[in-house]
């Protein structure tokens, strides 16, 4: 564990300011011309993820005829392929010579209609399947996966399943990955109220879209009105019938303790000691192989790492550097 050279601008070191500004629409406005060019060169694609599951995403080719590789980007919970960090990181990777695919998880963005079953974080198989489909469609060089928050958790779990799935995965980059889901939920419940409010608003909106897409299956209005995050999580995962309890669900996607000790793929993990969403103590007990590096900054908030008041993120350079190691 070491501290890289990340130094936020004066007055920009507060973790809540970092976390909130990183998701603010001002970031896209400041880079609107570059992002317009990125979006203009990106192609919407429906992926075959196996077992009838379809996920959507956007492929952006490299600017050169000799790409340095292909990076699949994974967003966080209730994020999307259009989240600030996904767009800015895709832009940084493309400028560095990589092709990029921004994958969208089940029921995120506007994809609630694509699959009848609800999203939950135990659905690693379909994400592995999506990465495999991307690799088959665009064999343009070494394959990497990079993820943020819950997407970082998924990225590391893709690495655990890569060999069995026949994926030649060369490197993983994970920014503020969720380590122990039970502790993440506890942090949301006991931390500043606005994080719980922010995520619940986005989740309720997504679930209402799911209900509208499959009205014959879902009647969620009463649950959405009266349940908090813990209660709603438990009610929905038990309804899907794959888990015996909330703890059983959390255990299905935890990467805490020794779970990453057998990770066969080289990886780079970035987190901040002041992350208000992902408890830093969860990183202290990780058992990591020698080919996995963990970088910790004193500041950065949750997926922020904003360096300046133009809201450029050091995490983008971290991901580019990690992918360049393949």
Catalytic residues: 149, 275, 302
Structure tokens at 242: 């794959």
What DSSP string describes 112-129? TTS-SSPP-TT-HHHHHH
| 8 A C-beta contact, residue 238 and residue 132 | no
Q: Provide the CA 31 distance to its chain's centre, in angstroms.
A: 21
User: What's CA 114's distance to the chain center, in Å?
Assistant: 20
Beta-carbon contacts of residue 68 (< 8 Å; ≥ 6 apart): 62, 96, 97, 98, 141, 142, 323, 324
Q: Cα(326)–Cα(322) distance, rounded to whole angstroms?
A: 8
Residues contacting residue 272 through CB under 8 Å, at least 6 positions apart: 15, 18, 176, 280, 296, 297, 298, 299, 300, 301, 302, 304, 305
User: What burial class does residue 29 get, using C-beta atoms within 10 Å of its C-beta: 0-12 exposed, 13-18 middle, 19+ buried?
Assistant: exposed
Mind giving me the DSSP string for 138-167?
Answer: ---S-EEEEEETHHHHHHHHHHHHHHHHT-
């Amino acid at each position: 564990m070491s501290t890289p050279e990340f130094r936020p601008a004066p007055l920009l070191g507060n973790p809540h300011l970092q976390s909130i500004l990183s998701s603010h629409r001002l970031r896209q406005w400041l880079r609107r011309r570059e992002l317009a060019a990125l979006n203009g060169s990106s192609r919407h694609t429906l992926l075959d993820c196996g077992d009838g599951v379809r996920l959507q995403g956007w492929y952006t080719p490299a600017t050169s005829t000799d790409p340095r590789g292909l990076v699949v980007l994974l967003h966080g919970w209730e994020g999307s392929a259009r989240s600030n960090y996904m767009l800015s990181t895709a832009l940084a990777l493309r400028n560095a010579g990589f092709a990029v695919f921004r994958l969208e998880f089940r029921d995120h963005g506007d994809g609630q209609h694509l699959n009848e079953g609800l999203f939950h974080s135990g659905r690693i198989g379909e994400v592995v399947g999506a990465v495999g489909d991307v690799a088959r469609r665009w064999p343009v060089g070494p394959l990497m996966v990079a993820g943020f928050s819950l997407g970082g958790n998924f990225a590391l779990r893709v690495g655990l399943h890569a060999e069995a799935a026949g994926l030649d995965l060369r490197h993983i980059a994970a920014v503020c990955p969720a380590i122990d889901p039970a502790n993440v939920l506890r942090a949301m419940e006991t931390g500043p109220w606005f994080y719980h409010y922010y995520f619940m608003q986005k989740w309720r909106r997504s679930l209402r879209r799911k209900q509208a897409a499959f009205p014959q299956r879902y009647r969620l209005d009463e649950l959405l009105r009266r349940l908090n995050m813990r209660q709603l999580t438990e009610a929905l995962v038990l309804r899907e019938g794959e888990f015996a309890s909330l703890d059983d669900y959390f255990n299905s996607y935890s990467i805490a303790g020794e779970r990453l000790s057998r990770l066969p793929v080289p990886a780079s993990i970035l987190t901040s000691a002041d992350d208000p969403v992902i408890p830093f103590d969860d990183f202290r007990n990780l058992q990591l192989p020698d080919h996995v590096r963990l970088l910790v900054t004193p500041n950065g908030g949750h997926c922020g790492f904003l360096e300046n008041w133009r809201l450029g993120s050091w995490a983008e350079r971290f991901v580019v550097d990690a992918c360049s190691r393949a």
